[in-house]
């Protein structure tokens, strides 16, 4: 339902009824309501569309670069400042936040670690003894249990308070934070560069078009009220 269109049509209808029936008060109410509704509709329309001859129209697209820069500054100054990063790294009790590294550790390939262990054994004095029992293939059944236990132990270590304190201390170093902010800024800037004036206009329209429609409705209501006053006092 297009509230703007309905409001303007109702106001125009009242204006025509008042004009053809020669009822001055009805005509005044309709005319003032149409004036208020149409003016507000035009103002809303001018936010998004360029209207020839009307300076300042199409401001969303015209100020696109400023809009994009403002978003970038908002994200970096309000969300990724030093204070917010510090809050992210610390829980409400002042302890280091517990980062869940388990999903990452689960995806790590630990076969090189196992291969390194086997190579170390083969190069040690136990290598010749192992060769007597079939060499590396003799301990192949230990591969999966070794990797499983290694993953579990590393996950267990990553969940300790001491480990999280070390992570937090490392991340809180000024050069690390600045590097993090630079990387985030580059990501944000790259994503914003992909925006086009048309895309930004559509995003803003989608967010506020419904609410701006009420400006037209209230413009018609208040315009009609003042038209009624003008008709009664005229």
Residue 113: its pLDDT value, please?
Answer: 86
Residues 6+ apart with CB under 8 A from 183: none
Give the residue ranges of DSSP H helices in the chain.
3-20, 24-48, 59-62, 64-74, 82-89, 102-107, 111-123, 126-132, 143-158, 161-171, 174-193, 197-233
Name which residue leads in pLDDT, 27 or 163: 27
Q: Which residue has the tokens 């506020």?
A: 208
Percentage of the chain beyond pLDDT 70 is 85
| Region class of 97: left (phi > 0), else alpha (psi between -120 and 50), else beta | beta
pTM: 0.49
List Cα–Cα distances, 11 to 2, 44, 46, 151, in angstroms.
Answer: 14, 18, 21, 73
Q: For residues 200-217, give the mean pLDDT.
A: 75
Q: How confident is the model at residue 98 (pLDDT cuts 50, 70, 90)?
A: low
Q: For residues 178-200, give the mean pLDDT.
A: 78
Residue 42: its pLDDT value, please?
Answer: 85
Q: Which two tokens stand for residue 187?
A: 């990501």
Residue 87: its pLDDT value, please?
Answer: 67
The full set of domain ranges for the chain reads 3-98+159-233
Range ranked top by mean pLDDT from 12-26, 184-198, 217-231: 12-26
Residue 89: its pLDDT value, please?
Answer: 64
Q: How confident is the model at residue 8 (pLDDT cuts 50, 70, 90)?
A: confident
The CA distance from 143 to 122, in Å, is: 15
């Amino acid at each position: 339902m297009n509230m703007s269109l309905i409001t303007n049509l109702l106001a125009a209808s009242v204006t025509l009824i008042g004009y053809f029936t020669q009822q001055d008060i009805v005509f005044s109410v309709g005319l003032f309501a149409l004036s208020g509704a149409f003016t507000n509709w035009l103002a809303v329309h001018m936010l998004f569309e360029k209207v020839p001859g009307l300076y300042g129209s199409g401001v969303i697209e015209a100020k696109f670069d400023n809009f994009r820069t403002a978003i970038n500054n908002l994200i970096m100054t309000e969300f990724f400042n030093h204070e917010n990063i510090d809050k992210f790294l610390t829980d409400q009790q002042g302890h280091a936040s517990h980062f869940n590294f388990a999903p990452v550790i689960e995806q790590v390939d630990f076969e090189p670690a196992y291969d390194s262990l086997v190579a170390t054994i083969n190069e040690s004095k136990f290598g010749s003894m192992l060769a007597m029992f079939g060499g590396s293939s003799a301990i192949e059944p230990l591969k999966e249990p070794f990797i499983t236990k290694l993953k579990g132990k590393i996950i267990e270590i990553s969940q300790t308070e001491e480990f999280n304190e070390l992570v937090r201390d490392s991340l809180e170093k000024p050069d690390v934070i600045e590097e993090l902010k630079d990387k985030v800024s580059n990501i944000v800037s790259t994503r914003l560069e992909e925006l086009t004036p048309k895309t930004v206009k559509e995003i803003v329209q989608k967010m506020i078009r419904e609410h701006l429609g009420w400006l037209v409705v209230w413009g018609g209501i208040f315009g009609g009220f003042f038209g009624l006053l003008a008709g009664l006092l005229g």
